Structure 1
Amino acid sequence: MSFDFDELQDLLANWPSGDWPEKAEDGVLDRICQVLRAARAHTGASAWNADLQPLLRHILLRASDSAGRDMRLRVPAGQGWPDQTSWEHHGLEVLEAGSSAYLLTACPWHPEWLGGEEEGVFAAAFSNKSVRRMAHYAADPFVSDATSFANYSSLGQCEAVRAAFLIPEGDTLIVNLPTGSGKSLVGQAPALVNKEEGHLTIFVVPTVALALDQERAMQQLFRENDSTRPDWPLAWYSGLSQEQRAEVRKRLRNGTQRILFTSPEALTTSLLSAVSDAATAGMLRYLVIDEAHLVTQWGDDFRPSFQALAGLRCTLLGLSKGTFRTLLMSATFTEETVDTLASLFGPVDRVQMISAVHLRPEPQYWFYKASSSEEKEERVLEALRHAPRPFILYVTKRDEITHWSTVLRSRGGLRRLATFDGGTPDRERLRIIKEWADNRIDGIVATSAFGVGLDKLDVRTVIHATIPETLDRYYQEVGRGGRDGKSSVSLLVFDDSDWSLPERLAKPKIISTELGFDRWKAMYQSRSSTSEEGLLSIDIDAVHKRLPGGSEYNVNWNMRTLILMARAGLITLDIDANRDGQDSDPAESASSLLAAMASVRVRIQNDGHLIPDLWESAVRASRGKTLEAAERNLQMMRQLLPGSSGSKHQIGREVGATLTELYSVRSMRWPVHVTQVCGGCPKDRFVIRDRTDYAEPTVVPVHRVTSRPNDAWKEKFPWMDPAFVYLFYDEAQPLADIRHSVLQFAGWLVRCCGVQEIAASPNSVLTTHTAWSRLYQHAFGRVLLHRPVSGGHMEPYSPLARMSILEPDSAPDLVLEMQMLQRPFHVVVLPLGLREPGNSQRRLADVSPNALRLENVIRVITQ
């Protein structure tokens, strides 16, 4: 319901009576109402004070920013409400208003230890102003009809969704889009658009939390577009009952599931048999891997099943005869990651990328080096008394979660908290995710297991109470804030002891040449032939006589060895279902899954794989690139943080420049140019800038698409070159007749000539008929792109057959734009009276050799 600042003031003036709303549209006001409804039920208690005070400061600062003057709020005194000292401790100025009330004014916060701007630290994050450029692009009708979305959220999302449908079957698409740009829709769209049975998307996510969050969002989309559809499970996790698991497997095999969100561990164990059956039946159409950069990680983050996904894909492609597409999605691809993924999910010439990378303008970055862990706690508690809600406090180890939760509750007085890590039980995860979405939790204390891909838009504060494992991880976690396009806070408080984990991870345990070669020999000696020529089955738990074995440790290191060899081009991996235990449900941990359930098979790509010197030289380059990237990541983190060179007050490198260096890809095949943006950091805190003033990245469409024959054109108009044809209509004829003929011709082009792109003016009277937006129903795969006709000369080349429509009042220069477009097939429909560009004395129709008349064409195609 609608509930604003003035209504809040009215209810506070009548405390404790009044009709407090059950739900407010505004997130901050909704939280305030929840706290005060609970407080009213416990009159005289004060445990809720510390939760309320930052929220009231938040709403006051936002209202003051909107009004352009200091706003005041009248609150009760006594009855369990905070006293004057407590209000002031939370950054609020207090005036007595009689014996039973205070007048509160929110004060700017100027901590000496952080520095800051004149209006105070974190000030921008209390504003309601958007700092992200919200340039929306009209959604193609085939997408809007399936999702109810009128617009794409960004140009990058627009081209990525299109590419997901256009790339040939069997190809891989790398989707490189910033957080908040609608990346999830790219992987969801195929399941929404293709409603028929036998069209399955397997959507792999790194955490159960993300699987559950994606399921929640997808169920809502399904309900909005098909109210009769039952709510069967869309996420696979250990919390499902045996009956639910059996039902999902049944749906996978009979073609009614459409989409399933799952972890790589489940996909390589309990789901592998059913998914393999779906692939064999030709029903697996998309394999989507979200946060795909994790496939290339080593060290403590190494997850055998994640790294095995490339081999599993290879197997499924063989079973399905190449009928599915692979989407690899992330907001944080580095150069080394792109190269590795392309080699693992290739062949390279069948890998394409959609990239539209700009840094996030929302976060404002603050860093502080504490002298001790005790000072770190004081600074974090002080910051949380003054920071906007909701917030996430990130740590790196599970025992740190317990510690910080205790600190925030006992010393900070906060109650509306939850804790989250990789070991949080499924039932608890569900509760936390739902309460987080419903604003019933104001803060989460978590490891990186929380938040990856979770699309809560209004997170205002992200605090790191330690140095994250890598700069890449840091930026991913910062990206949880400000997804609504408004300013957010990023605060990192650390001490010298926090460097130990990043330094250890900068030297990931890849594998030594000698031990790696020994492991490979043991696995190769365990080989057995398969029914497919050249494909060898190996024992993933094989043990060399010099090595300890028969354990999860051994399986993990054997998997590391195989991945390293695959990256070096010595082998290709293949993961097959273990049919002996089909449909069993082992514990889906990230350890010995492959040994428990799957058969690992390899295909030798280099006959010198058993020669030590050749083995070493082949893997040296791959290992070296990984180690170099890890060390580079650490050094950039050191450059970013203050005090890394010895001086406590030394200011680190500018954040935007550092992240631009991290995410730029200098590859000739997949170049990524990062649009540099910084919401403010110690290096440029006082530079006045418009944070919405940054260039929209140029998005290059995919160049490999499934070609469609135009035999119908050759049959009907064999004398006309379809690469560029003028089709003239007589604008003197009744508009209804012209529109009918144009629609009839457009339908024929889409249905019979493989046209997959149509362009017109957004205000064209020729295209206002409903039939225009329904043309996609006649297209191959029901995919038809709609583009504006103007500005086409700025479009990168796209190998799609196209029809463009010009209006009677179109400028002659628009014809020149049409001529500059490169398309394999292009029909330009334009008025008979349009003048030749550069010569207003002649009609274009009188001097155009490759031209047709609309009325003649209609007679030909309707014969």
Structure 2
Amino acid sequence: MSFGFDELQGLLANWPTGDWPERAGDGVLDRICQVLRATRAQTNGSAWSADLLPLIRHVLLRASDRAGKSMRLRVPVGQGWPNQASWERHGLEVLEAGSGAYLLTARPWHPEWLGGEEDGVFAAAFSDKIVRRITHCAADPFVSDATKFDNYSSLGQCEAVRAAFLIPEGDTLIVNLPTGSGKSLVGQAPALVNKEEGHLTIFVVPTVALALDQERAMQQLFRENAPGRPDWPLAWYSGLSHEQRAEVRKRLRNGTQRMLFTSPEALTTSLLSAVSDATRAGMLRYFVIDEAHLVTQWGDDFRPSFQALAGLRYTLLGLSERPFRTLLMSATFTEETVDTLAGLFGPANRVQMVSAVHLRPEPQYWFYKASSPEEKEERVLEALRHAPRPFILYVTKRDEITHWNTVLRSRGGLRRLATFDGGTPDRERLRIINEWADNGIDGIIATSAFGVGLDKRDVRTVIHATIPETLDRYYQEVGRGGRDGKSSVSLLVFDDSDWNLPERLAKPKIISTELGFDRWKAMYQSHSSTHEEGLLSINIDAVHKGLPGGSEYNVTWNMRTLILMARAGLLTLDIEANRDGQDLDPAESASSLLASMASVRVRIQNDGHLIPELWERAVSASRAKTLEAAERNLQMMRQLLPGLSGSKHQIGREVGETLTDLYRVRSPRWPVHVTRVCGGCPKDRFAIRDRTDYAEPTVVPVHRVTSSLNEAWEEKFPWIDPAFAYLFYDEAQPLVDVRHSVLHFAEWLVRSCGVQEIATSSNSALTTLPAWNRLYQQATSRVLLHRPLLGGYMEPYSPLARVSILEPNSASDLVLDMQMLQRPFHIVVLPLSMRESGNRQRRLVDVSANTLRLENVIRVITQ
């Protein structure tokens, strides 16, 4: 039985008796049921009422929006329930309805300090209206059979998933898609489609929280594809037992571990030996880095393991005779990031991009500059009394989490909270993630360690209680809200002291010329030759004169030096497992990464690397570009936020305009145009607009694909040029026989000629045949794209071998459209009666060269 607003009213009327459901299909009602079911026996409402009040207001505002009129809810009086003052303080109007009940109506909230809209601040976030344009397109059968998804969630996801399979082995694909557009599936699909043993995807994620969340989603997909399959670990983290770790390593080596989510720290230490062995055996097929923009990051968040991934990839590519594909995924690539990644994961001529970037229409942006930390606390508490659930409260430092947890619990009375940062123990992380997914927690107080890539779709409120380190990070964290396509709240409350951290990070600690050169000399002097010509093994803990060694600090700065040199083209990095320490589990720190477990090797690319002037000249451009990008990021954040405190604050720059500038890539090789959208901000709060009315980004397919083979065609039909040929069928024959022959021909093309694209009209009877939708099984790669005859948004760029099927009633003008397509191999199947477009008196078959007849072709290919 469904549980809705009326059912809630019925149970409240009989409080405390009644059969409260274990689960309600709706997230807000589910939270209310959890609170009330757990507290029916309590007599002290103070232990739970602060959690309930915003939820009741939320459900009332949503019900009123659905009904188009103000809805009321009858609630008990006494028995631990809130008093009238509490209800009113949380934005609810109270009428007495007899001695034992209140009648509640949700009021709009109009705080003077935020300004607002006619319907009240945050009003849109209580609505069920979808504000993101939905652009589903049918999934290719090879994907839908493996994932059970009938549609791609966006055109960008469609082309990115296809590109992941189509790019040549050894190539790198940059996947630039907005949050909520299904980016994760791009990296997951290869492991789902390729079910055979010996097909491994290593999926690198920045946080343990994301690894666990991705594991949970992937386990579900595996279960749907193979009921009864045991749920062995798909995520590698310190919470695994010794036995589980041994089992994962065993499966990596024997080819049964199709997917593994891991941190860069684990990959470059405790997993490196097993992954290297799997790569030597040719089993590593995909190397995926999620949130790949972090590879280029400097400053306090510099993680040597993340920055070393390019060197690790280079090493692994050298181990296997069958090179793997690399996917670099993010929703927030900037111009500098794309250029840097293309250099590190190149060569550049083997790097491609699929990009479909539009700003998120869901968040509505609110900013307030408080006059003091005390006022900031008051404003955040007031906002949380009126904000929809669930919410995330972001800060930047761990001690701020402790502070805000105390504030929200002691002064706000909230209980259904959790705290999360980079130091949260793995067991606690797993508990929080599961409770968050099951609506058991209404709010998370967190640093950026929480949420990156987590797909909690119904997050309604994201509050920043400080200025985020960068504008890029701010937008990433705002993007945790509204992933279901409905409006969300973004509120940033700050005071002057909050600028300290962003200003410091705008000057990232990039090694100076003198120290960097001295560090490099010390490392170079430590080098020893390897069995590979030109490859030098170095001591990553080498120390230049006057500095102590043997510390994480030294290792980190040496690694920064090497990465700076790699970006400048002075050397390439190479990281190899330390065979003496294979399969040990050290602490996952910077020093254990590079000093204990891995051998760091370099290949010199410039013989002048020991000349100070040349060293400086090479690295200065890279350093300057990074510093310029950091300063630009800070200035854009300053332009966005109000400059004065109090109710008469200065309005900052329009959010959509600012973010468009941040993420536009002007590179001629990888241009990215950002579709500008703003869900509402102080600059355009009262503009009348339809948030779904924005231009869909143009998605250009990859241009380098695995080549099709024409030997079988040339053997059977050497007199026909397959670059563009007509194949005529006699529609006077029984259509069942014609369809069978066309299917037989298509099977041969896919199996023997490397055709990877088939196109039909949407009403073709062929699409109803099970065998037609299983044609991909004939392909060596098991990859076959199904496209409409004319998919204008992606033509004429795709360089795939194609067969197009025209129906007997197809217009003759369609033939001209087929001729305009650029394909290396294109067979157009069409009826004998098809007329010439320019002269309807003549049949096309009578005036065309380079033609075949279907019945003759079938005889030839079946001999």
1:601 is matched with which residue? 601
Mapped pair 1:795 → 2:795: yes
Report 1:145-294 matches (<5 A).
Answer: 145-294=145-294
Cα distance, 1:45 vs. partner? 3.6
SS in 2 for 1:845: helix
Cα distance, 1:763 vs. partner? 1.8
1:703-745 superposed Cα distances (whole Å, 9 cap, x missing partner)? 1111121111111111111111111111111111011000000
Distance in 2, Cα, partners of 1:832 & 1:736: 17
SS in 2 for 1:75: strand
Distance in 1, Cα, partners of 2:89 & 2:11: 24
Distance in 2, Cα, partners of 1:850 & 1:687: 59
Distance in 1, Cα, partners of 2:766 & 2:836: 22
1:324 is matched with which residue? 324
2:553 is matched with which residue? 553
Q: Using a 3 Å threshold, how does the CA distance of structure 1 residues 463 and 647 change in structure 2: closer, same or farther?
A: closer
1:156-198 superposed Cα distances (whole Å, 9 cap, x missing partner)? 1111111111111111111000000000000001110111110
1:106 is matched with which residue? 106
Cα distance, 1:792 vs. partner? 4.4
1:72-99 superposed Cα distances (whole Å, 9 cap, x missing partner)? 0000011111111110000000100001
Matched-pair contact (CA < 8 Å) for 2:265–2:306: yes
Matched-pair contact (CA < 8 Å) for 2:178–2:356: yes
Distance in 2, Cα, partners of 1:839 & 1:65: 59
Matched-pair contact (CA < 8 Å) for 2:371–2:646: no
Counterpart residue type for residue 862 of structure 2: T
Distance in 1, Cα, partners of 2:109 & 2:569: 57
1:354 is matched with which residue? 354
Q: Using a 3 Å threshold, how does the CA distance of structure 1 residues 28 and 89 change in structure 2: closer, same or farther?
A: same
Q: Using a 3 Å threshold, how does the CA distance of structure 1 residues 355 and 308 change in structure 2: closer, same or farther?
A: same
1:742-788 superposed Cα distances (whole Å, 9 cap, x missing partner)? 00000000001110000111221133210000000011210001101
Counterpart residue type for residue 675 of structure 1: T
1:140 is matched with which residue? 140
Cα distance, 1:791 vs. partner? 3.5
SS in 1 for 2:37: helix
1:32 is matched with which residue? 32
1:507 is matched with which residue? 507
1:521 is matched with which residue? 521
Structure 1, 430-439 or 707-716: larger mean CA deviation: 707-716
Cα distance, 1:320 vs. partner? 1.0
Distance in 2, Cα, partners of 1:591 & 1:400: 27
State how many pairs are aligned.
863
5+ long unaligned stretches in structure 1:
none
Cα distance, 1:812 vs. partner? 1.9
1:19-72 superposed Cα distances (whole Å, 9 cap, x missing partner)? 110001100000000011012131444311110110010011011011110000
Matched-pair contact (CA < 8 Å) for 1:235–1:261: yes
SS in 2 for 1:46: helix
2:391 is matched with which residue? 391
Cα distance, 1:592 vs. partner? 4.2
Distance in 1, Cα, partners of 2:66 & 2:279: 56
Distance in 2, Cα, partners of 1:764 & 1:792: 19
Q: Using a 3 Å threshold, how does the CA distance of structure 1 residues 840 and 43 change in structure 2: closer, same or farther?
A: farther
Q: Using a 3 Å threshold, how does the CA distance of structure 1 residues 165 and 281 change in structure 2: closer, same or farther?
A: same
Matched-pair contact (CA < 8 Å) for 2:699–2:793: no
Counterpart residue type for residue 195 of structure 1: K
1:451 is matched with which residue? 451
Matched-pair contact (CA < 8 Å) for 1:285–1:325: yes
Distance in 1, Cα, partners of 2:23 & 2:590: 40
Q: Using a 3 Å threshold, how does the CA distance of structure 1 residues 332 and 591 change in structure 2: closer, same or farther?
A: farther
Structure 1, 493-502 or 798-807: larger mean CA deviation: 798-807
Cα distance, 1:646 vs. partner? 12
1:95 is matched with which residue? 95
Q: TM-score, normalised by structure 2?
A: 0.99
Cα distance, 1:641 vs. partner? 0.2
Cα distance, 1:857 vs. partner? 1.0
1:697 is matched with which residue? 697
Q: Percent identity?
A: 87
Structure 1, 338-347 or 786-795: larger mean CA deviation: 786-795
Structure 1, 702-711 or 106-115: larger mean CA deviation: 702-711
Distance in 2, Cα, partners of 1:766 & 1:145: 18
Cα distance, 1:645 vs. partner? 11
2:804 is matched with which residue? 804
Cα distance, 1:838 vs. partner? 3.2
1:474 is matched with which residue? 474
Q: Using a 3 Å threshold, how does the CA distance of structure 1 residues 163 and 695 change in structure 2: closer, same or farther?
A: same
Matched-pair contact (CA < 8 Å) for 1:135–1:154: yes
Counterpart residue type for residue 104 of structure 1: L
Distance in 1, Cα, partners of 2:322 & 2:356: 28
SS in 2 for 1:404: helix
Matched-pair contact (CA < 8 Å) for 1:776–1:782: yes
Matched-pair contact (CA < 8 Å) for 1:364–1:487: yes
2:435 is matched with which residue? 435
Structural RMSD (CA): 1.2
Mapped pair 1:780 → 2:780: yes
Distance in 2, Cα, partners of 1:661 & 1:644: 24
1:860 is matched with which residue? 860
Q: Using a 3 Å threshold, how does the CA distance of structure 1 residues 454 and 776 change in structure 2: closer, same or farther?
A: same
Cα distance, 1:647 vs. partner? 11
2:377 is matched with which residue? 377
Distance in 1, Cα, partners of 2:710 & 2:299: 53
Distance in 2, Cα, partners of 1:463 & 1:844: 65
2:739 is matched with which residue? 739
Matched-pair contact (CA < 8 Å) for 1:792–1:817: no
1:587-622 superposed Cα distances (whole Å, 9 cap, x missing partner)? 113454211110000000000000000000000000
5+ long unaligned stretches in structure 2:
none
Q: Using a 3 Å threshold, how does the CA distance of structure 1 residues 590 and 209 change in structure 2: closer, same or farther?
A: farther
1:535 is matched with which residue? 535
1:756 is matched with which residue? 756
Q: TM-score, normalised by structure 1?
A: 0.99
1:529-567 superposed Cα distances (whole Å, 9 cap, x missing partner)? 000000000000000013232211000000000000000
Distance in 1, Cα, partners of 2:809 & 2:104: 61
Q: Using a 3 Å threshold, how does the CA distance of structure 1 residues 792 and 118 change in structure 2: closer, same or farther?
A: closer
Mapped pair 1:711 → 2:674: no
1:231-284 superposed Cα distances (whole Å, 9 cap, x missing partner)? 110000000000000000000000000010000000000000000000011111
Counterpart residue type for residue 602 of structure 1: V
Distance in 1, Cα, partners of 2:744 & 2:322: 36
Q: Using a 3 Å threshold, how does the CA distance of structure 1 residues 45 and 767 change in structure 2: closer, same or farther?
A: closer
SS in 1 for 2:46: coil
2:687 is matched with which residue? 687
1:414 is matched with which residue? 414
Distance in 2, Cα, partners of 1:364 & 1:384: 16
Distance in 1, Cα, partners of 2:592 & 2:695: 47
Matched-pair contact (CA < 8 Å) for 1:110–1:116: yes
Distance in 1, Cα, partners of 2:539 & 2:809: 72
1:195-232 superposed Cα distances (whole Å, 9 cap, x missing partner)? 11100110000000000000000000000000132111
Distance in 1, Cα, partners of 2:380 & 2:806: 61
Distance in 1, Cα, partners of 2:698 & 2:49: 49
2:68 is matched with which residue? 68
Distance in 1, Cα, partners of 2:200 & 2:38: 45
Cα distance, 1:840 vs. partner? 2.2
Matched-pair contact (CA < 8 Å) for 2:113–2:647: no
SS in 1 for 2:145: helix
Cα distance, 1:810 vs. partner? 1.4
Distance in 2, Cα, partners of 1:46 & 1:586: 46
Report 1:613-628 matches (<5 A).
Answer: 613-628=613-628
Cα distance, 1:331 vs. partner? 0.3
Report 1:545-694 matches (<5 A).
Answer: 545-643=545-643, 649-694=649-694
Matched-pair contact (CA < 8 Å) for 2:701–2:794: no
Matched-pair contact (CA < 8 Å) for 2:751–2:778: yes
